Amino acid sequence: MNFEYHVEGGDFTNAGSTSSQVKRMLKKIGVSPEIVKKTVVALYEAEVNIVAHAYRGDIFVDLEEDHVKIVLADEGPGIPDIDKAMQKGYSTASQKVREMGFGAGMGLPNIKNNSDSLNITSEVGKGTTIEFINYFQ
Amino acid sequence: MAEDFHHALKFKYDLCIGCSHCTGVCPTSAIHVEDGHPVLDPNRCVDCGRCYVACPMNAIYIEQDDFQTIYDYKYPVLLVPSIFLAQFEEKIRERTILSALLHLGFKDIYEVEKSVDFIKEYIRRDLENGNVPYEKPVISSFCPAIVRLIQVKFPVLVDNIYLVKAPFDMTAEYIKKSLTEKGVKEEDIGIFYVSPCAAKIAAIKSPVGEEKSPVSGVINMNYLYSKVLRVIKTGEYKMCDESARFHRLSKASITYPLTGGETKMLRIGRNLAIDDIHNVSEFLEKVEDEDIQDIDFLELRACDGSCCGGILTAENRFLMIERQRKRMQKCSDEVDSEDNDLLNYFDYLADKRHVSEVEPRSMDKMDDNVAAAMQKMKRAFEINQNLPQVDCHLCGYPSCKALAEAVVTDKAQIQQCIFVQRAMEHYDLLTPKEAHDISAKVWGAKKTDPTIAKNLNL
């Protein structure tokens, strides 16, 4: 099953609504609570990243019998150095975003810790695509 | 699937007029209407009692043990929450209430909150030893309706529940132990707990994450209130002597059953106290979504006003809270083991306090098989997209979404929706008579009797 969601950059009010909807679906098909939690944590982080850094983005959810694949593709500044961004505590968030309690770093490492496989591609000035898969067993 | 939950809430179909008010207020959508009456899904209901409050006909009752069973025991003991006293007007003195309770046949009267000082100390030690759930926020297990709500609606959060026995269970363990030490035979002791709500009753009858409760029977608080008031009004009791009184409790023990009492006592990091099951649901949804983070402890209560808002209390909750606070002001900050004998049993109770794990039992799962569940979920989405989203209840379900899910799990038929009926009639897929019969199956023959039109001179 495929689902598509749109995220607007800067719209913190609705940040997290996709992860909430995906969570509900995973519960309905009987995915174990631990894996629901993992997926919610990873997706929430990735979704908030779009809101905090990008202009807009789309989230594609591919729900299969044994796994869920989530692709978040944004139009935004891109990540110049992905390895650096993967380091704990590293953040490029603006002061304004930090004041709202976001952008304290940890975003990407947290996604990595809560996904079974993670792939990040990025082009400076164009955008970032994050793809991760979580298996149900 | 595990055994069905035991429920203390029951419907009296002879009083029920099939108004369906109960279906709309249920926080877990556990009730739907069939043949003019509510039907409960036992795996969704958490015994919060919102339906009991909403019912205009008093057609929902709460099971309780026959009061007479107290006389089956040679040594019946009453275990009563401190808020029981807060139901009575100030002019009725504590000693009078105590005398009336003794008159009813109880040998001893203990307040539930006698074990609160023990719990406080124990949790303090747990915290020091890092012996609390790893998952944050740690969620209090005090309110059994909340524990069940988490099991069915927020299974992701079951590992956040801090598993400690409730005060009534700890006090009951103490009563049993101390009385047997005084020479009372164990089989003669009957411990009767007075419950302010349905959830506590259900929890005693089939405890979640706990072995058999030491409590022998349950008495509904409003029933005992009436019984005591009757004894007082008729004056048929003998005033007990001056020295007899309720046990001394600390300030913290008296505030414990009020909203914020537990967080105030435990002072665990950043904490919040939230009451009313709909407020709790809203909050937990956000916690589960990771939208709310960095909270250390949550005190959650199903009833507005915590236990004072329990559905089996006899007095207005705001007055009860006021009286409870007044009583608190007269209490001392600390009570030692001389005043509270329970504290002499610290190690014994510490051994008894553990409860086994709470299992998640998601109510949302649409099928045990993932592939089948996905198919059903997909179909339910498609159906729901074509429903009016009016949530009118006329199909017998609390929402369009609930009907769609009932259809794909073969519990209902889509023609129960009156909008679908009209659409089908338009294409001659359904006759008005057939549509009427479908509605009659949901709402019963009486409500859908065609003579209504005649009675209205139409």
Q: State residue B1's pLDDT score.
A: 43
Q: State residue B157's pLDDT score.
A: 94
Asked whether the predicted pLDDT for residue B212 surpasses 90, the reply is no
Of the partner residues A20, A28, A37, the one whose CB lies closest to the CB of residue B365: A28
Query: Which of B197-201, B334-338, B445-449 is predicted with the least confidence, judged by mean pLDDT?
Result: B334-338
B70 CB-side CA count, 13 A = 21
Chain B residues touching residue A37 (CB < 8 angstroms): 156
The total of structural domains in chain B comes to 3
Pick from A27, A32, A64, A100 the residue to mutate for testing the B interface (most B CBs within 10 Å): A27
> Which of B414-418, B444-448, B449-453 reaches the highest mean pLDDT?
B414-418
Q: Would you say residue B409 lies in a domain? A: yes
Last residue of a domain, one of B297, B317, B352: B352
Q: Would you say residue B361 lies in a domain? A: no
Q: Would you say residue B359 lies in a domain? A: no
Of the partner residues B291, B364, B374, the one whose CB lies closest to the CB of residue A27: B364
Q: Would you say residue B279 lies in a domain? A: yes
CB pair distance less than 8 Å for A20 and B285: yes
Q: State residue B128's pLDDT score.
A: 82
Asked whether the predicted pLDDT for residue B412 surpasses 70, the reply is yes
CA–CA separation, B232 and B226 (whole Å)? 10
Residues B335 and B383 in one domain: no
Q: State residue B361's pLDDT score.
A: 87
Asked whether the predicted pLDDT for residue B404 surpasses 70, the reply is yes
Collapse the DSSP code of A128 into the 3-class scheme (helix H, G, I; strand E, B; otherwise coil) and give the result.
strand
Residues B32 and B174 in one domain: no
Q: State residue A100's pLDDT score.
A: 62
CB pair distance less than 8 Å for B370 and A29: yes
Do residues A23 and B289 lie in contact, with contact meaning Cβ atoms separated by under 8 Å? Answer: yes
Pick from A28, A37, A38 the residue to mutate for testing the B interface (most B CBs within 10 Å): A28
Query: What pLDDT, in 10s, does the model give residues A55-98?
Result: 999 999 999 999 999 999 999 999 988 888 887 667 666 666 66
Token pair for A66: 């044994």
Do residues B42 and B164 lie in contact, with contact meaning Cβ atoms separated by under 8 Å? Answer: no
For residues B316-322, average pLDDT:
97
Residues B296 and B370 in one domain: no
Q: Would you say residue B405 lies in a domain? A: yes
Using a CB–CB cutoff of 8 Å, tell me whether B445 touches chain A.
no
Residues B232 and B196 in one domain: yes
Q: Would you say residue B357 lies in a domain? A: no
Residues B92 and B27 in one domain: no
For chain A, the structural domain boundaries read 2-135
CB pair distance less than 8 Å for B378 and A25: no
C-alpha distance from B291 to closest chain A C-alpha (Å): 7
CB pair distance less than 8 Å for A65 and B374: yes
CB pair distance less than 8 Å for A40 and B290: yes
Residues B407 and B312 in one domain: no
Chain A residues touching residue B360 (CB < 8 angstroms): 33
Q: State residue B227's pLDDT score.
A: 96
Query: What pLDDT, in 10s, does the model give residues B382-398?
Result: 999 999 999 999 999 99
Chain B residues touching residue A24 (CB < 8 angstroms): 364
Residues B80 and B153 in one domain: yes
CB pair distance less than 8 Å for A40 and B371: no
Chain A residues touching residue B151 (CB < 8 angstroms): none
Residues B141 and B114 in one domain: yes
Q: Report DSSP state, residue A85.
A: H
Of the partner residues A19, A31, A33, the one whose CB lies closest to the CB of residue B290: A19
Q: Which domain holds residue B16?
A: 1-62
Residues B268 and B414 in one domain: no
CA–CA separation, B45 and B43 (whole Å)? 6
- The count of other CB atoms within 10 Å of the CB of residue B409 is 14
CB pair distance less than 8 Å for A30 and B288: no
Q: State residue B324's pLDDT score.
A: 96
For residues B30-48, average pLDDT:
94
Do residues B239 and B99 lie in contact, with contact meaning Cβ atoms separated by under 8 Å? Answer: yes
Collapse the DSSP code of B284 into the 3-class scheme (helix H, G, I; strand E, B; otherwise coil) and give the result.
helix
Contacts of A113 (CB under 8 A, 6+ apart): none
Chain B residues touching residue A40 (CB < 8 angstroms): 156, 288-290
Q: Which of the following CATH numbers is that of domain A2-135: 3.40.50.150, 1.10.287.110, 3.30.565.10, 3.90.105.10?
A: 3.30.565.10
C-alpha distance from B429 to closest chain A C-alpha (Å): 31
Q: Would you say residue B58 lies in a domain? A: yes
Last residue of a domain, one of B352, B374, B402: B352
CB pair distance less than 8 Å for A19 and B289: yes
For residues B394-406, average pLDDT:
95
Chain A residues touching residue B371 (CB < 8 angstroms): 65
Instruction: Enter the ipTM.
Output: 0.81
